[in-house]
Amino acid sequence: MQRKKIFELLPRQVWTLADALGIVGIVFISFYYLTAFRFPSLITQPSRQVDFGILYTFPWLIFHDAHYPSLAPFPYPPSAVVMLLPLHMLPQHIAFVVWLFAQAASLWIVVWSSIKLSGAANWPGRWALGCIGVLLTDNPLSWDLRNHNSNLVILAIVMLGFVSRRAWVSALLLAASAGLKVYSGLLIFLIAWWREWRLAGLTAASMCGIFILLPVLVFGPADFVQVLRDWLDQVRFTATLEGYYYGTHIITLRRAFATLLDSDPSSKAVIILWRGSEMLWIALVIWYFATANKVNQFSGYGVAQFADICVTLLVPLPVSTWLEPYHAVIMLPAYILLLTVLFRDEWPSTARVLSAAALCGPIISRIAIQRLEIRGLAFLISFSLIVIALAAARRAVHFRPIESIEANHAPMSK
């Protein structure tokens, strides 16, 4: 069987055109969701800057008062407050323009790094696959870009960390992502599971420096303790009924089951379904890692690592007490990986069929599940299909060599 046989069915010029259209498509999508092509009002009207206004204002208020404000929940840790402070050194309209460029660049970084880690860096039609991945992640991407939130920026930092060839650079980037959003801290356990002890140690040290030492230097020891307590109070708030009722944009599994049953969120039936679905999700993740092959430098090791990264990024979302639609942007790397599995002949049919099923997940869920209140359940279904498909790919890559990976190892193997 010839290498990448499926791409030989069409002339090279067709794939070049497909790449060009893919690039144009990604540019159009990013500019449309970021600006809606209304540039003057976007810059001059703070209300159109949505979540960026919070990211710009709240860190300065917290720094100035040494307290988290009670105006609205701000579940970012003190380390994120410190890292976001430089935005306030600029006038808001200029800082917002900088943030727009950061969001646009982050989308490109995520797509490019996902293509690279999938082993498809030299494929014809690779940008077309990237554009398809963006379209499949349209709902959470549109939420993040339109609301000018930070999820895509944080994901880009994570992806750069795994693309980097230098262990210390990877450690700093992964630690920075965890400092902005603590969910990324789970990646250190994945690195340890790979037995990449040097990178795990560097990442742990960097996380301690960013999460503890940096805020202590900025706030001072006493004020750091205070803002840390305030942040923990914010996290506890998200788990309360008051946090549940804060807004319909909070799409946790609890809200989904309460909506489906038209019942009180504290009812016994809702609690059983909510906690039961969380336990099933955790069991699925444990199954993925329990059935994954032993880590060694087999052919396709880089692709296997990338599958592990995609699963680890998904782990906290279904059990999150503050799940919003834009948090699911982390599906984008997984979809690009699954697209490369689907369109490559060397993969066994089981892995390709399961990849196709996972890729159909967001399409079917968008059609079948229209209500925002139950979209958390739709995401759980999509996440579960992704994990099952990646488990099949993870096992298949060990037994059936996949070429063109050597240049795409994650940094820990260097």
DSSP assignment of 345-411 equals TTS-HHHHHHHHHHHHHHHHHHHH---GGGHHHHHHHHHHHHHHHHHHHHHHHHHS--SS-GGG--G
* Phi, psi angle pair for 67, to nearest 5°: -145, 145
What pLDDT is attached to residue 363?
81
What pLDDT is attached to residue 293?
66
What pLDDT is attached to residue 5?
56
Cα distances (Å, whole numbers) of residue 49 to 29, 39, 144, 153: 18, 11, 12, 16
What pLDDT is attached to residue 410?
46
What is the full per-residue pLDDT of the chain (414 aa) written as tens digits? 444 456 667 778 888 999 999 999 999 999 999 988 877 777 777 778 889 999 999 999 999 999 998 777 898 999 999 999 999 999 999 999 999 999 999 999 999 999 999 989 988 899 999 999 999 999 999 999 999 999 999 999 999 999 998 999 999 999 999 999 999 999 999 999 999 999 999 999 999 999 999 999 999 999 999 999 999 999 999 988 888 888 778 999 999 999 999 999 999 999 999 999 999 999 999 999 998 865 444 445 788 999 999 999 999 999 999 999 999 999 999 999 999 999 887 788 999 999 999 999 878 877 778 788 999 999 999 999 999 999 999 888 754 444 444 344 444 444
pTM: 0.93
What pLDDT is attached to residue 297?
47
CA-closest candidate to residue 144, choices 327, 352, 369, 351 = 327
Residue with tokens 């609690």: 271
Strands (DSSP E) found in 153-300: none
Identify the three-state secondary structure at position 75: coil
CA-closest candidate to residue 188, choices 312, 76, 316 = 312
What pLDDT is attached to residue 396?
81
Report angle CA 222, 223, 225 to the nearest 5 degrees. Answer: 70
d(CA 260, CA 172): 43
167, 412 Cβ separation under 8 angstroms: yes
Report angle CA 191, 197, 199 to the nearest 5 degrees. Answer: 65
d(CA 348, CA 350): 6
The one-character DSSP state at 33 is H
Helix residue ranges per DSSP H, 36-184: 39-44, 51-65, 78-84, 92-117, 126-136, 138-147, 151-163, 167-180
Residue with tokens 């968008």: 366
d(CA 132, CA 335): 9
What pLDDT is attached to residue 376?
92
127, 22 Cβ separation under 8 angstroms: yes
d(CA 31, CA 98): 14
Q: Spell out the residues 6+ positions from residue 362 whose beta carbon is closer than 8 angstroms to its own.
A: 136, 137, 138, 139, 331, 382
137, 336 Cβ separation under 8 angstroms: no
CA-closest candidate to residue 90, choices 45, 63, 60 = 60
